[in-house]
Amino acid sequence: MTNLAPVAAQLEAQAIELPSWAFGNSGTRFKVFGTPGTPRDPFEKISDAAQVHKHTGLAPTVALHIPWDLVDDYSALRAHAENEGVSLGTVNSNTFQDDAYKFGSLTHVDAAVRRKAIDHHFACIDVMDETGSRDLKIWLADGTNYPGQGDMRGRQDRLSESLSEIYARLGDEQRMVLEYKFFEPAFYHTDVPDWGTSYAQVVALGDKASVCLDTGHHAPGTNIEFIVMQLLRLGKLGSFDFNSRFYADDDLIVGAADPFQLFRILFEVVRGGGLNNPDVAFMLDQCHNVEDKIPGQIRSVLNVQEMTARALLVDREALDAAQAAGDVLAANAILMDGFYTDVRPALAEWRESRGLPADPMAAYAASGYQTTIAESRVGGVQAGWGA
């Protein structure tokens, strides 16, 4: 069996934030399938997220989404989370659903629309103040569908101005992370389409702004681990949104599309000092449309943990020597040996040694929690995508 002792301390410290929206009725833009026991409010989302941490020990925080997670009393939500054994994490803004944002939000040509979008982010920072959250995460749907529809340079200038105003509102211990996506819902150009654009914007803002890398937000064939390396090298990788994509859509279980890619990404995270680095947050960003929500999140965090263990076990000394000698095949073989190492039995044993279930998926299925919520959450309006 693989010996995890040399990397146990690093595995012990690993934490992966869960998205509250993954527990609601979430899915594709074509159809969202409801499931028994779906949460009816943010409090129940937090309770479900706590089950993932209870069975894996990997997910101590839950990200919120505004306005989907609006409540009257955030101190009560914070206390509820702590009572469930987790805490509240990143606050995500939303400027992609209001009719006013049809032609953009922070980049809109109309100052009144930009004001509305900026004020929304101010409200998100107010939530952060109440919940003790550190990070404000911004993803924009802003862009155009046709050549000539908008002035691309002007939109960048307005984005810079809007972000600067939001940045100035952050507290001393708060940060902004700017996510990017190369297309969708804008099809001709997106205002923040790539890591370079996000980097250019956050560098201009200052030390409290950095890039959020969503692993599903790249064109096919993109070398994502190169981007990870570069952002870590530049000190501007603030967070991950882990998921998978097939074809044009994303938000699937991390590692489902390409486990080797996930391994390569995590190897560069380890190599670049990003693992268990407080300045590099790990988070899932997923919508479980056809699978059950809680087991879907359990599977995802376990996939990240498994590939992290494999990445940590790569013989770095031997790899460095092979690279220095120009031994192409040896260097590749050393990396592949790490990827092919089956760490699952060792991780199961390691979990048991920490008082966790050896098989979290089976333990959750046997816990009866799913049956309990399916029977008790009847008669209310289920919280879902857009709720």
d(CA 61, CA 85): 9
Cα distance between residue 268 and residue 101, in whole Å? 37
Nearest-5° Cα angle at 230, 224 to 233: 140
Average pLDDT over residues 108-132: 98
User: If pLDDT is split at 50, 70 and 90, which confidence band does 378 have?
Assistant: confident
Per cent of the chain over pLDDT 90 is 91
Judge whether residue 387 has pLDDT over 60: no
Q: Where are the alpha helices (DSSP H) in the chain?
A: 8-13, 42-56, 74-83, 111-131, 152-169, 195-205, 224-234, 259-271, 293-312, 316-324, 328-340, 344-353, 360-367, 369-376
pLDDT computed for residue 311 by the predictor: 98
- Model pLDDT for residues 45-93, shown as the tens digit of each residue: 999 999 999 999 999 999 999 999 999 999 999 999 999 999 999 999 9
Burial of 75 (0-12, 13-18, 19+ CB in 10 A): exposed
Question: Looking at residue 386, what is its pLDDT?
Answer: 62
Q: What is the mean pLDDT of residues 193-203?
A: 98
Q: What is the pLDDT of residue 39?
A: 94
- Of the chain, the end-to-end C-alpha distance in Å amounts to 47
> Helix, strand, or coil here: 21?
helix
Average pLDDT over the chain reads 96
Segment 222-232, tens digit of pLDDT:
999 999 999 99
Q: Cα–Cα distance between 47 and 19 in angstroms, integer?
A: 12
SS3 call for 297: helix
| Domains of the chain in sequence order | 14-312+367-376 (3.20.20.150)
